[in-house]
Each structure stands twice: as structure tokens, then as C-alpha cells.
Amino acid sequence: MHQIYSRNGASNKTEFWDSLLTPNGGFLMVDLQDHKNHSIGVSMFHQLHCLSMIRAVIVTGEMRRHPVESRNMKEMQDHEHFMHCFDYIVQAILCSADDALERSINILDAGGEEEDGINGMGQTHQCRNATLLYDYVLQSEQVPVKVDSLGKYSVFP
């Protein structure tokens, strides 16, 4: 289980958000058998990058880029990048179509009073193994995976 699945409450710590990406930004290193290693994006990490960037703009008013971004991606204007990330996150949510039921619970309103509401925390979801994916991508930074070990459209066959 990835640490985020067991979290209670929000984190204002930038270190937490940075820890969701591997040191190279979540790019899978692949040996295409052409004597070069290639960086291939992985959707989960692209989604986390976008969400982290949107969060940074909301919290600090400034766009943060991952250090490898300028090396691996063509630079976009900040506004275009920001809007791309919104669109990309919407696509990811619709694609996963999480159908978990979120029961109402007592939550505190802004005035500290209890009210019936839904915050989505502590509910049961059918999740994929984010830790397995993180570890696999992280390991590829040291030993690139062979292209024939990948699925046609995904990291795992």
C-alpha cells in the first residue's frame, strides 16, 4: 500500500508532494535495443505531476516545474501548461471511473459544528498497486527495462 492510501487529512508539505514522483519525474527508462535508453512517460506520474503543479499555483501562486521537466519535455507557456494539466486530470478521472460508494459521515464545517457530509476519506476503493508501479519505475532508473517486457499500452503486460 502506498503511503497516500493511509493518509488522513491534507498535507501542506511540499516534500510529501515531491515524494510522489521518482527522482527523474516518473519516467520509465526503457532499453529499445538501439544502444540508447529512452524516457517514456507513465500516466500515474504525469497525473501526479499535473496535480502537484496545480496545487503549487493555488498554494503559492507560482508554477513549480519538476527539475527534469525542461530536459525531457518541450517547454510550454505556463498558462498552456496549467490548462493542459486541468484537461489531463479530467481525462484521468473519467478514464478510471472510480465507482466506490462514499457514505456520508459527520464532518466539521468552517464554524466547527458537526454536519452530515462526504469527504471521501476512509472509504473503500478498489485500487491498483501504486507502490509496485513506483518501485518498478524507480528501478528502471538504474536498470532500464527491455521493451519486449512492456505491455502494448501499459507498463505491465
**pLDDT tens per residue across all 157 residues of the chain:** 455 555 555 566 777 888 889 999 999 999 998 988 999 999 999 999 999 888 888 888 776 665 555 544 444 567 788 889 999 999 999 998 888 888 888 877 788 888 888 877 777 877 788 889 999 999 999 999 999 999 999 999 8
Q: Where are the domains of the chain?
A: 18-149
How far apart CA 12 and CA 58 sit, in angstroms, is 11
- The model carries a pTM of 0.76
pLDDT tens per residue across span 122-132: 778 777 888 89
- The two beta strands, 28-31 and 145-146, are parallel
pLDDT tens per residue across span 105-118: 887 778 888 888 88
